[in-house]
Amino acid sequence: MAKVDIEWRGLERLTATISNAHPKAVEQSVKVVRNMGEKGKSVSKRLAPVDTSFLKTSITTSYQGMEAHIKSGAGYAGFQEYGTRYQPGTPHIRPMLDEIEPEFQKLMTDVMKGAFK
- The pLDDT of 15-41, averaged and rounded, is 84
Give residue 94's pLDDT. Answer: 93
Share of the chain above pLDDT 90, in %: 57
- The pLDDT of 41-63, averaged and rounded, is 93
pTM confidence score: 0.79
Q: How many other C-beta atoms can be found within 10 angstroms of the C-beta atom of residue 82?
A: 15
pLDDT bracket for residue 5 (50, 70, 90):
low
Give residue 117's pLDDT. Answer: 60
The residue ranking higher by pLDDT, 30 or 6, is 30
According to DSSP, the residues that pair with 59 across neighbouring strands are 72
